[in-house]
Amino acid sequence: MAEINIREDFPIFRDNPSLVYLDNAATTQKPSCVIEAVRHFYERDNANPLRGLYDLAQRATAVYEDSREAVAEFIGAAGPEEIVFTRNASESLNLVAYSYGTFLKEGDEILLSVMEHHSNLIPWQQLAVRSGAVLKFIECGVDGRITEEAFRSALSSRTKIVSMTQISNVLGVRNDIRTFARLAHEAGAVFVCDGAQSVPHIPVDVQDLDVDFLAFSGHKMLAPMGIGVLYGKKALLEKMPPFLTGGEMIEYVTREGATWAELPHKFEAGTVNAAGAVGLKTAIEYYRKVGFDAIQKREEELSEQAFDVLSTIPHLHIMGGNTAKEHNGIFSFSLDGVHPHDIAEILNADGVCIRAGHHCAQVLMQHMNVPSTVRASLAFYNREEDILRLAQSLSTVRRRMGYVE
């Protein structure tokens, strides 16, 4: 991959060549083509999609619906009606919990793993409160692995929903979604996959994985903030009630009630984020241009390098797996005697952006018995130099905090 050209595609790096951005699991930077596509929409195609009959509105509708087709193709959905645009992965997961959740009864079980992001935990906790369903958790090992045995033993004939992340935003560990979805189906449950950290980094095919729902965010994959996706199998989406109600999601309205629009519009109330959808389509095109194989190869190389250099820093402990492969470009770690927030401040002073805290995964932190960590997360546009700058800065932190060695 021509690293230098990739960097040129991102204005933030063009304008700040020394910026070391290693918080990609939080959000990625945006290439010029995405920024331009959003601008182009507002300059040339802007009207309220799905409403007006005039040419401009038809064009706005067409580009919005083209984006849906691009997303459907990107994740291997059977058709665009299975793609619901939301604001982000959190909203997608809430949609499933509120809407599919209406089918749950007291005593039914919802199964999650202990490594779920709060966005894939709180909606289910709230559903449990509303429905009387019971929330159960699958444990992971210190390496973050969830074994088939652990999964099987947490599953029961009462399990109605399993919701699990494909890649942990803290440990980087990748769960065997295909196997777990199959086991969930055998037990009569639906399988919801949180793809927020996987869709941007590995090819995800919903039919191959046979998941019932997949949630992800545009902003973690080069697209603008405020556009997210919920994939759902058509047969399930069809029988689910709407989540949000209002304009555009109806078919016919009387004083007393309403009937719902066809899929996927039943789930898209109000004016949509057409510019965001166009930005997401452009991000997908950019992924294709660079090539998923090249992206994965680059991220694997960077991940190896990061694991190697972090492993040599005295007093630094990487949470989770013992090999680079198990991290998928995400490294959470601690440094003896130094609070993660102090590490983040010192790194910031050296121009290195990383994240410190509980990473919206407090249940995992409790499970691993650590209050918080520092997290560095990679993307294909990172340079080897970024990792060296991270390591250089980290190796001075304890000294700068007053430790002798």
Ligand X SMILES: Cc1ncc(COP(=O)(O)O)c(C=O)c1O
The span from the CA of 203 to the CA of 150, in Å, is: 26
Residue 16's alpha-carbon distances to 10, 12, 94, 101, 351, in angstroms, are 10, 6, 37, 46, 10
CA nearest neighbour of 306 among 391, 200, 197: 391
**Tokens (6 digits) for 152:** 């099987």
CB of 371 to ligand X, least distance (A): 19
* Contact (CB, 8 A) for 177 and 75: no
Tell me which of 24, 61, 119, 377 binds ligand X, using CB under 6 A: 119
Q: Is 217 in the site for ligand X (CB under 6 A)?
A: yes
* Contact (CB, 8 A) for 347 and 400: no
Site for ligand X in 81-110 (CB under 6 A): 88-90
CB of 204 to ligand X, least distance (A): 13
Of the candidate spans 40-48, 146-154, 189-197, 281-289, the one that interacts with ligand X by CB under 6 A turns out to be 189-197
CB of 338 to ligand X, least distance (A): 24
Tell me which of 30, 117, 160, 233 binds ligand X, using CB under 6 A: 117
Total residues interacting with ligand X, rule: CB under 6 A: 13
* Contact (CB, 8 A) for 331 and 172: yes
Per the rule left: phi > 0, alpha: psi between -120 and 50, beta: everything else, 40 is alpha
Q: Cα-Cα-Cα-Cα dihedral of 274, 279, 280, 285, to 10°?
A: 130
CB of 230 to ligand X, least distance (A): 11
CB under 8 Å to 187, separation ≥6 — which residues? 155, 156, 157, 159
CA nearest neighbour of 73 among 382, 284, 333: 284
Site for ligand X in 24-63 (CB under 6 A): 25
Q: Is 393 in the site for ligand X (CB under 6 A)?
A: no
Q: Which is nearer to ligand X, 45 or 194 (CB)?
A: 194
Q: Is 165 in the site for ligand X (CB under 6 A)?
A: yes
Asked about 140 being catalytic, the answer comes back as no
Tell me which of 169, 175, 305, 377 binds ligand X, using CB under 6 A: 169
CB of 86 to ligand X, least distance (A): 9
Q: Which is nearer to ligand X, 10 or 216 (CB)?
A: 216
Catalytic residues: 360
Site residues (CB under 6 A) for ligand X?
Answer: 25, 88-90, 117, 119-120, 165, 169, 194, 196-197, 217
